Amino acid sequence: MMARLSVWRSPVTVPLSWIGELTTGVRCSSSMPIVRPAYSDSSSIIRSFSEIPGLWKNGMANLYHFWKLDGFRNLHHIMVQNFNTFGPIYREKIGHYESVNIINPEDAAILFKAEGHYPKRLKVEAWTLYRDYRNRKYGVLLKNGEDWRSNRLILNKEVICPKVLGNFVPLLEEVGQDFVARVHKKIKQSGQNKWTTDLSQELFKYALESVSSVLYGERLGLMLDYIDPDAQHFIDCITLMFKTTSPMLFIPPALLRKIGAKVWQDHVEAWDGIFHQADHCIYNIYRELRKESGTPKKYPGVLASLLMLDKLSIEDIKASITELMAGGVDTTSITLLWTLYELARHPKLQDELRAEVAAARAESQGDMQEMLKRIPLVKGALKETLRLHPVAVSLQRYIAEDIIIQNYHIPAGTLVQLGLYAMGRDPKVFSRPEQYQPSRWLRTETHYFRSLGFGFGPRQCLGRRIAEAEMQIFLIHMLENFRVEKQRHVEVKSTFELILLPEKPILLTLKPLHGSR
C-alpha cells in the first residue's frame, strides 16, 4: 500500500484519465432534477444548484480518487486543476465534505456579503472533538453564534485593535534584535563569515518567542542556545497537530477514534502537548497577577490585560489564548521562510527593500512604530508572499442567505469556499501571477478582494495584527543586517498539511552586510 501511495506522491496535475471521468460524470445529468428557469435583472437564465458542474454525487468514490491522487497532501493542486476543468465555480463532495468552490474576487465579495451576523467557517471536527473528549472549552476560533460574537468583540479590543499595536511593537522589536544577534553569533561560529541552513527551526522559535511575549508580556528565552525542552516539544506538537488534522477533514474523526486509528491517537497526543505548555504559561501569569497589586508599570501582555478586564470567564480566556499561541507559530514562521526564499531569488528587489528600510529608519529616528508606517514595499512583499504561498488553501463560509454566483443559485446554508491558493495564481486575477512583484500592491490597479491572506470581515484572523507586526519587524531587522542568498535555482512547491508548507527544506545562506563583527 505504501509503494502505491508513493507513486502518487508528487503529481501536480491530475492524470488525464481522471479528468475524463470527471467530465463524463458531469455530463451524465440524466438523474438531475428538472429545474424551472428563473430570470435575473440582466435577463440571463439563472441555473439551479444541481446544475453546478463538478463531482458531488458519490462522496465515497470521490474520496477514493482523492486518496489515490494523494489529495491529502495535494489539495491545493487539485483545486487549481478543478478550476481548470470546470471553470470559475464547481461543486464537490469528498467523503462527507461538501462544498461549492469559487475563484473570482468579485464572487468572493458576494460570498462575504452573505456571511450574516454570525459568520461560520468549516468546522474542523478533529479540533472540536478533541475539546469535547478532554472536556475543554472552545476558543473564539471554534465558537459560533452569540457565544462567538460576544467573545470576539472583547478579544478584538485587546488583540487586533490598532490602539494596542503600540504595546506589541517594543516587545516584538526586542525579539527581532535577539534573533539578529543569534544569527551573527552563528555566522561567527561557522568561521566562514556566512551561515547556510534550513532556517525553519530558528523561525519557529522566533515566532513562538514573539507571540508569547505579546500574550504573556514575558520572554520564554528561545533565542538562546539551550532552550526549555517543553517549548521545543510544544513546537513539535503543533506541527504534528496540523499534519494529523488534514486526513480528518475527509474521514470523520469520531469514526477514527472508534476504531482506534493512529492519526486520532497522534492528534490527541499533539493537542495534549500543546495544552500542557499553554496551561503552564497561563498559570504562571495568573499566579503572578494574584500576588501583585495595583496597576502594572509596563504593558503586561494580552493575557493579563484580559484577566484584569474581567469580562470573559477564565476558561474562555484560556481557550482563546491557547488558540492564539498554537496558531501563531507555524503560520508566521513559514510565511517568513517563503519571504526570505523569494528575496534570495530576487537580489535586486532585496536591495530595493533594504533601501526603503534604511530611509524609513532615518526618517523616524529609529522609532519602530513610526518606521512601520514608512515601509509600503516591505508590506507589499508580505502580501506577495501570501498570494503565492498562502497559509490557508481556501476561505469558507456557510452562507446565511441565498446568493447567485456565476448565474448559479446557491441556497442558504451551503458551504462556499474561495480557493485562495488558486486565486493567487490565476492570470485572470493577477497579471503575470508567476512573478514575485511586491510593487503590484503599490500600484493603483484594483486590490478589491485580492488581499485575503488573513481572511475577511469580523471572522478574519484574530492574530492578524500580531502576525503582521511580528513579520514586518523581522524583515526590517534581517534586511538591515544580512544579505540572503540561495544555492541553485530550484523551485520549491507546497504541500498541504492543513496549512500549506514547503514540500522540502529550503536552504538559505545569510551573510553579514557590514563585514564580520
Q: Which is nearer to ligand 2DC, 273 or 327 (CB)?
A: 327
**Helix/strand number for the chain, H first, E second:** 20, 14
Q: Among all residues, whose Cβ is closest to ligand 2DC?
A: 327
Q: Which is nearer to ligand 2DC, 217 or 327 (CB)?
A: 327
Q: How many residues does the chain have?
A: 517
**What's the grid cell of residue 286?**
495568573
Q: Which stretch binds ligand 2DC (CB under 6 A): 119-127, 164-172, 407-415, 471-479?
A: 119-127
Q: Dihedrals φ, ψ of 504, to 5°?
A: -145, 165
- Distance separating alpha carbons of residues 122 and 82, to the nearest angstrom: 20
Q: What angle do CA 126, 130, 134 make, to 5 degrees?
A: 175
* Min CB(424)–ligand 2DC separation in Å: 14
Produce one character per residue of 383-399: b if its CB has 16 or more CB atoms within 10 Å, e if not: bbbbbbbbbbbbbbbbb
Q: Contacting ligand 2DC (CB under 6 A), which of 77, 91, 120, 121?
A: 121
Q: Which is nearer to ligand 2DC, 125 or 288 (CB)?
A: 125
* Min CB(318)–ligand 2DC separation in Å: 13
* Min CB(38)–ligand 2DC separation in Å: 31
**What's the grid cell of residue 491?**
523551485
- Distance separating alpha carbons of residues 119 and 398, to the nearest angstrom: 7
Contact call for residues 435 and 313 (beta carbons, < 8 A): no
Q: Which stretch binds ligand 2DC (CB under 6 A): 6-14, 34-42, 153-161, 392-400?
A: 392-400
Coil, strand or helix at 500: strand
Q: Which stretch binds ligand 2DC (CB under 6 A): 52-60, 130-138, 181-189, 393-401?
A: 393-401
Calculate the CA dihedral of residues 145, 146, 148, 150 and round it to 10 degrees.
160
Q: Which stretch binds ligand 2DC (CB under 6 A): 2-10, 174-182, 262-270, 323-331?
A: 323-331
Q: Which residues pair with 89 in a beta bridge?
A: 102
Contact call for residues 463 and 473 (beta carbons, < 8 A): no
Residue 326 makes contact with ligand 2DC by CB under 6 A? yes
Restricting to residues 453-472, name those near ligand 2DC by CB under 6 A. 461
**What's the grid cell of residue 364?**
523616524
* Min CB(285)–ligand 2DC separation in Å: 19
Contact call for residues 121 and 268 (beta carbons, < 8 A): no
Q: Contacting ligand 2DC (CB under 6 A), which of 46, 61, 109, 122?
A: 122
* Min CB(399)–ligand 2DC separation in Å: 16
Q: Contacting ligand 2DC (CB under 6 A), which of 107, 158, 323, 426?
A: 323
* Min CB(141)–ligand 2DC separation in Å: 5
- Which residues, 6 or more positions from 447, have their beta carbon under 8 angstroms from its beta carbon? 441
Restricting to residues 327-356, name those near ligand 2DC by CB under 6 A. 327, 331
Q: Would you tell me which residues interact with ligand 2DC (CB under 6 A)?
A: 121-122, 124, 141, 249, 323, 326-327, 331, 391-394, 396, 461, 498-499
